Every structure is written in C-alpha cells, then in structure tokens.
Amino acid sequence: MLSIFFRRLLIAVPVIIIVTTITFFLIRLAPGGPFDADKVVPPEVLKNLNATYNLDAPVLVQYKDYMINLAQGDFGPSFRYPGRSVTEMIFTGLPTTFELAFYAILIAIFIGILSGVTAAVKRNTSLDYIPMTIAMIGICMPTFLLGPILVLIFGIYLEVLPVSGWGSLPGDKILPSITLGAAYAAYIARLSRGGMLETLNQDYIRTARAKGLSEFRVVFNHALRGGLIPVVSFLGPAMAGLIGGSFVVETIFQIPGLGRFYVEAAFNRDYTMILGTTIFFSVLIILFNLLSDLMVLLMNPQARDNT
C-alpha cells in the first residue's frame, strides 16, 4: 500500500510540471493582457507596470524565473490585486471552499446513499421509482437554476433563510450546501443503487439470508460494504469537482471562495493567479483521486491483490 502511495506521488510531479508549463504558455497566447483597461494605460505607465511584474523579459526567461520561484513555493504577486500574493489569496478562499465542499459532500452522501440503498432494497416499487426520478432531475438541473429557486422559496417568500453570505448570518450555509450537494447526491444515489443491486445478488448475501439474518443486518452489515465501492471511487473526483466547480454556487450566494478567484483571474488575465490556482487544483485532484483509490483498495481485497 505504502509503495503504491509513493509511486503515485512520484508520477504526480511530472504531471504538475506539464500542467504548469502548458498553462503558462496558453495564458500568454490569449489576446489581451493584465493591464488592458477601459481607460487606456499610457505607454510609459505600461512600461513601468511590465517592468514591475517581469513581463518585459523574454517569455522563456519569465518561464524560467516562474519555475524557480515555484520550486521555492512562491506563486508570485497577483497582477489584479496589488499588494496581495497569490499564495495569500489561495489560502484566503480555500477554507471557505473546503467548508462548502465538505457540507455539500455530506449532504450528497447522506441523501444519495439513503435513497440509493432504499431504491435497491425496494426495487421496482414506488420507493425505487420516486427517488431515482428525483435523482435524474437532480443530475439534469444545473446549480444556476436550483440555487435561485431555493433562494426564492426559502429566502424571499418564506423568509426563513438568508439569500446570500457565508458565516455572516445564521443559517446562511444551508442553501449553498444543498445547491452544491444536490447534483452529487443524485449521482451517488444512482451509483449506490447500482452497486447495491449487484451486491444483493451475490452468493454470500443469499447465504446470509439463508442463515436467517434480518433484512436490516443483511443490508447494513453485509451488502453495504461491497455495494458502496463505486460510491467511494466516485468520492475522490467528486470532492475535487466540488472544490474546483463551486464557482457558480459561490457567485449565486456571494461566497468568498476560491472558485470565484479562479474564474475572475481568467477573465482579468491575472497570469500568476491563474497559474497558482491551476497548480493548486491539479494537486488537489491528484490527491483526492489517490485517496479514493487507496480507500477502494482498503475496502476491496480483490482489488488489493490485483495491484
């Protein structure tokens, strides 16, 4: 297990370098620079700005300097926000994004597994059809539609929850977490239903039933462990997706998370911020995938033997 862990970590290093290199050159190919503004910046001022941020050096020199700084853990200063470093900005938004993703995944797991397992156990009944129909709607409904609908119902008409914010007003974390978690809950519901159906047909489940165990024990003590392996495999990419894809929810609910920084950096051609967040998200995706693979190995001895 440990060797797998370290082997995968080693493979991650060249992946990060490739991602950084491609991003570095791609953003410089995009038309428009960080200092293009509605009110034209005078040429002499632009010259000084370029010199301040090392943009007057040849691109290869800029690349070399960036990689050297990166090796020392320095993502550089933000071009958009003078006086703020990219590292500082990432760590400003990260706790909020993590918290949002954590609540969202908790909701997704709770609702998803509950409805998925129920659907599998009560196959071809209304307890199967209704949750699965809702799950399909959840997968199809984009967050930019679900968010405002929830806000209108609970924030504007019922006036029981704040319509925006994060940690400022009581209950302001509920709607964003549900909005972000809903689509993932739907995926998890379908995955857990599929996994459970397959497991419930296994011989060892039939044996358990033949031994006279209650249905509750059959499902929770025996079937659940095998039935949820697809869900666990999905959790790694899901967590990375939640953190990287929270931009829409952060915008709808006015949440100061990392997703907003990432997307706004792209619009503003904030080169260092784009690079910093891309590298950071790449590391997170690799890490979460690795963790989820390791968990699957722990849960499934067969997979462990095959590696």
Partner 1 sequence: MKKYYICFLCITVLSCSQQEPLLDTALDNQILHWGNGSEPQSLDPHIATGVPEHHVLIALCEGLTITNPKGGDNLPGVAQAWDISDDGLIYTFFLQPNAKWSNGDDLVAEDFVWSWKRILTASLGSQYPDMLYYLKNAEEYHAGKIQDFSEVGVEAIDAKTLKVTLRAPTPFFTKLLSHYSTWPVHKKTILNFGEIDNRNGEWTRPGNFVCNGPMKLKSWELNKKIIVDKNPMYWDYKQVQLNEIHYYPIVNESTEDRMFRAGQLHVTNVVPLEKCPVYLEQNNPNLRVDPYMGTYFYRTNTTIDSLNNKKVRKALAYAIDRKMIVDNVSKCGQQPAYSFTPPGSAGYEPNTEIPYDPELAKQLLAEAGYENGVNFPVLEILFNTQEGHRKIALAIQQMWQENLNINVELVNQDWKVYLSRERIGDFQISRAGWIGDYVDPNTFLDTLRANRGNNKTGWTNDTYETLMQKANSTNDNALRYDLLGQAEKILIDEMPIIPIYTYVRQYQISSDVKGWHPNFLDHHHPKFVYLERD
| CB closer to partner 1 out of 160 and 298 | 160
| CB closer to partner 1 out of 166 and 187 | 166
Residues with Cβ within 8 Å of residue 261, at least 6 apart in sequence: 89, 90, 93, 273, 277
| CB closer to partner 1 out of 150 and 238 | 150
Residues with Cβ within 8 Å of residue 110, at least 6 apart in sequence: 185
Distance in Å, CB of 195 to partner 1, minimum: 18
Distance in Å, CB of 111 to partner 1, minimum: 8
Which residue's structure tokens are 């006015």? 254
Distance in Å, CB of 301 to partner 1, minimum: 30
Query: Per rule CB under 8 A, is residue 45 in the interface with partner 1?
Result: yes
Q: Out of 21, 52, 54, 214, which residue is the one contacting partner 1 (CB under 8 A)?
A: 52
Residues with Cβ within 8 Å of residue 53, at least 6 apart in sequence: 34, 77, 79
Query: Per rule CB under 8 A, is residue 129 in the interface with partner 1?
Result: no
Q: Out of 40, 60, 71, 210, which residue is the one contacting partner 1 (CB under 8 A)?
A: 40
For residue 53, what is the enclosing H or E element?
Answer: none
Query: Per rule CB under 8 A, is residue 163 in the interface with partner 1?
Result: yes
Query: Per rule CB under 8 A, is residue 30 in the interface with partner 1?
Result: yes
Question: First-to-last CA distance in the chain?
Answer: 9
Distance in Å, CB of 268 to partner 1, minimum: 7
Query: Per rule CB under 8 A, is residue 149 in the interface with partner 1?
Result: no
CA distance 237 to 231: 11
b/e for 58-91, b at 16 or more Cβ within 10 A?
A: eeeebbeebeeebeeeebbbbbbbeeebbbebbe
Task: Residue 163: count other Cβ atoms within 10 Å of its Cβ.
Answer: 19
CA distance 110 to 270: 39
**x/- contact string, 96-125, with partner 1 (CB under 8 A)?**
--------------xx--x---x-------
CA distance 141 to 180: 11
Query: Per rule CB under 8 A, is residue 127 in the interface with partner 1?
Result: yes
**How many residues touch partner 1 (CB under 8 A)?**
63
Task: Residue 28: count other Cβ atoms within 10 Å of its Cβ.
Answer: 14
**x/- contact string, 228-257, with partner 1 (CB under 8 A)?**
-----------------------xxxx-xx
From residue 125, alpha-carbon distances to 4, 120, 154, 197, 214 in Å are 43, 10, 31, 14, 20
Tokens read off for 150? 């929830």
Residue 164's nearest CA partner among 155, 272, 232 is: 155
Distance in Å, CB of 16 to partner 1, minimum: 26
Q: Out of 174, 287, 290, 296, which residue is the one contacting partner 1 (CB under 8 A)?
A: 174
Query: Per rule CB under 8 A, is residue 202 in the interface with partner 1?
Result: no
**x/- contact string, 62-101, with partner 1 (CB under 8 A)?**
---------------x--xxxxx----x--xx--------
| Contacting positions for partner 1 (CB under 8 A) | 30-33, 36-45, 48-49, 51-52, 77, 80-84, 89, 92-93, 110-111, 114, 118, 127, 148, 151-152, 154-156, 159-166, 168-171, 174, 251-254, 256-257, 260-261, 264, 267-269
